[in-house]
Amino acid sequence: MKARIKKIEWEADGINSYFLTSLDGQDMPAFEPGAHVDVELKPGLTRSYSLVNDPKQRGYYEIAVHHAIDSRGGSRHIHEVWRVGEVVEISAPRNNFPMNEDAAHTVLIAGGIGVTPMLPMIARLEELGKSWELHYVAATPERAAYVDRLSAYPSARIVYDGIEGGARLDLAALSEGAPADAHLYCCGPGGMLDAFVALNKGRPADKVHIEYFSAETEIATDGGYSLELTRSGKTIQVAEGETMLDALLSAGVDIGFACSEGVCGTCQVKVLDGVPDHRDHFLTDAEKAANSSVMVCCSGSNSAKLVLDI
């Protein structure tokens, strides 16, 4: 869908928020806390951004974009090119990070720009009168977004780990101290999420929720296997140096992708036969073991052939 950039606001050093509205003044499609939209920046460059606003505010979508120094082009493009009044192309909201509204207690843990999906979650939890706590770590006050909104809540704790005398987010203590029936959510840098997952291995998997916004993914480019595509009837070879996605796009297969590093879930394809070499951070361990789907942007194959439902 097309959306207009209605307003741009400075949130913190390197972080702007962008308010997107419909072209005809109608409400935006409804979304649930944790949802994101894919934004098409230019052909071949799509990025996913969490929706920040209260889902009850239907007149706009708010996203926040951190201009990462090592940006592969997405955040830089938005900061440098997007201007108020322009029309951009976005997807309908999709939710890979849904919140369980029945939890007795909810623990939200965010690092940096990972705070964005937590804001609509907090709005909803407050609306439901639920028990929750947020632990948000940023390097410095200047680099912490949405502090003004969060400071209205006594249950929101913000720590700065990059200043003299600053605090540290003790993930181990938070994980150990959370009630057994709590649902825990974490969004932040890859290292933080890996530690969070390891610390909560003992909890039921359905109570531990993570969302990567970027990751150091070791992308499979070994090649040397073939892809049999059942719907299109094509068989293609993945050569050394290529990703599965590269091979599919070169063969003219129309396939959606966004992050290209195995975190957003856009490129998920059903596997009918064969054993993928899963490299993504999107599928759960159980889903990876089932081998019934694969993230083609980053994963490879452990079998000579993969049969895909495309």
For residues 216-228, one letter each, b for 16 or more C-beta atoms within 10 angstroms of the residue's C-beta and e for the rest, the string is: ebebbeebebbbb
Using the minimum distance from each CB to ligand FES, give the nearer residue, 171 or 294: 294
- Asked if 162 and 140 count as a contact pair (C-beta separation under 8 A), the reply is yes
Terminal Cα-to-Cα distance of the chain (whole angstroms): 24
CB of 158 or CB of 215, closer to ligand FES: 215
Q: How far is the CB of 268 from ligand FES (least distance, A)?
A: 7
Name, in order, each residue with C-beta under 8 angstroms of 24's C-beta and a sequence gap of 6 or more: none
Contacts (Cβ under 8 Å, ≥6 apart) of 210: 97, 185, 186, 187, 193, 196, 197
Work out how close the CB of 38 gets to ligand FES at its nearest, in angstroms, rounded to a whole number: 9
d(CA 14, CA 66): 6
Q: What contacts 305, CB < 8 A, 6 or more positions away?
A: 225, 226, 227, 228, 273, 274
* 116 or 260: CB nearest ligand FES: 260
Nearer to ligand FES, 169 or 298 (CB): 298
Q: Which residues form the interface with ligand FES (CB under 6 A)?
A: 257-260, 262-267, 280, 282, 295, 297
> Could you give phi then psi for residue 293, rounded to 5 degrees?
-150, 165
Distance of closest approach, residue 156 Cβ to ligand FES, in angstroms: 30
Q: What is the DSSP string of 17-82?
A: EEEEE-SSSPPPPP--TT-EEEEEEETTEEEEEE--S-TT-TT-EEEEEE--TT--SHHHHHHHH-
CB of 231 to ligand FES, least distance (A): 19
Shortest Cβ distance from residue 46 to ligand FES (Å)? 8
Nearest to ligand FES of 145, 263 (CB atom): 263
Tokens of 105: 């207690």
- Min CB(245)–ligand FES separation in Å: 7
Rank residues 196 and 257 by Cβ distance to ligand FES and give the closer one: 257
**Cβ 47 to ligand FES shortest distance, Å:** 9
In the complex with ligand FES, the residue whose CB is nearer, 136 or 257, is: 257
